[in-house]
Structure 1
């Protein structure tokens, strides 16, 4: 797996590693940070091949409203800052959470209209992950459950970074 994302910021080529985004985001939603990191790698490869993309040419639709996904996409592309980041929790692909609408799917596109849909594999997140999320929203998680959830998110982030792309993500060009 490539350990960095290369992206142009005008004339400067940046090399952004997962650890850079982790420093920005913190450890709250590391699984989401890792999945978004890998989603960007996959989308950029599909959209740009070996060419390093310009931040300013990238637009993102995220099916998930969580801060880990948002922060990963923002750190790499600055799409939120540039007004090119949209959240659509009703996006039809990647609707795995049994407790609420929230899609683990992302459309990464160029301003010229080329687009790639990246969807997290349904089998990646265990059912207990969604149950922990629900308890967290309700404020009913015990201290022990909070620690178990923290450990689960850490483990899932490590898996997301280590798995071959085709075992983690479904990637398809949509335009």
Structure 2
């Protein structure tokens, strides 16, 4: 992706621009769809928390309703919340509970000081086939290849969207 979206956060001394390509290289391809969606969630929420300048990376904290590696790695690479012990998984978050086979929420709360933004993934961002695959038992090599292609397509589509269009924000 040559024109991959970026996020700028305030580092310890100067702003840090982080492109999705770097986040994807850090993560790999295992959970590319959720990596891209979470990256876009950060692009949507950080300007709300800090509208006049990049958010201070070391002051951010996250409560996520999704324990997956793509979600975790997007938050970690951009904000370092996992390393700083400012990342909490709370599977009981009530919004965006789309997966009928897992007790998870496709939502998160990100905080900067006393400011908070709640982001809940909108219905339809993840297509029904995504959840059908997650529910499958005894996946074949062909099934796994199909799911890999689906995750890549979801990621590409999510990255091409206005980040705020993917989430309900409050």
- TM-score of the superposed pair, with normalisation by structure 2: 0.94
1:6 is paired with a residue whose SS is strand
Query: Aligned residue for 1:44?
Result: 46
Query: Aligned residue for 2:166?
Result: 168
Query: Aligned residue for 2:139?
Result: 141
Query: Aligned residue for 2:104?
Result: 102
- Distance across 2 between alignment mates of 1:48 and 1:2: 22
Q: How much does 1:131 deviate?
A: 2.0
Query: Aligned residue for 2:88?
Result: 86
Q: How much does 1:13 deviate?
A: 1.4
**What is the count of residue pairs matched by the alignment?**
168
Runs of 4+ in 1 over 2 A off after TM superposition: 164-167
For each residue in 1:138-173, what CA deviation from the matched residue of structure 2 results, as whole angstroms up to 9, or x when unmatched? 5x111111111000000000111111234311111x
Query: Aligned residue for 2:59?
Result: 57
Q: How much does 1:85 deviate?
A: 0.2
Question: Is the alpha carbon distance of 1:90 and 1:128 closer, same or farther for their aligned partners in structure 2, counting shifts above 3 Å?
Answer: same
Q: Does 1:70 align with 2:99?
A: no
- Distance across 2 between alignment mates of 1:55 and 1:124: 27
- Distance across 1 between alignment mates of 2:58 and 2:73: 17
Worse-superposed segment, 124-133 or 72-81: 124-133
C-alpha RMSD of the superposition: 1.5
Query: Aligned residue for 1:25?
Result: 27
- Distance across 2 between alignment mates of 1:105 and 1:170: 9
Q: Work out whether residues 4 and 19 of structure 2, in 8 Å CA contact, stay in contact via their aligned partners in 1.
A: no
Q: Work out whether residues 81 and 87 of structure 2, in 8 Å CA contact, stay in contact via their aligned partners in 1.
A: yes
Q: Work out whether residues 41 and 164 of structure 2, in 8 Å CA contact, stay in contact via their aligned partners in 1.
A: no
Q: What are structure 1's unaligned runs of at least 5 residues?
A: none
Query: Aligned residue for 1:12?
Result: 14
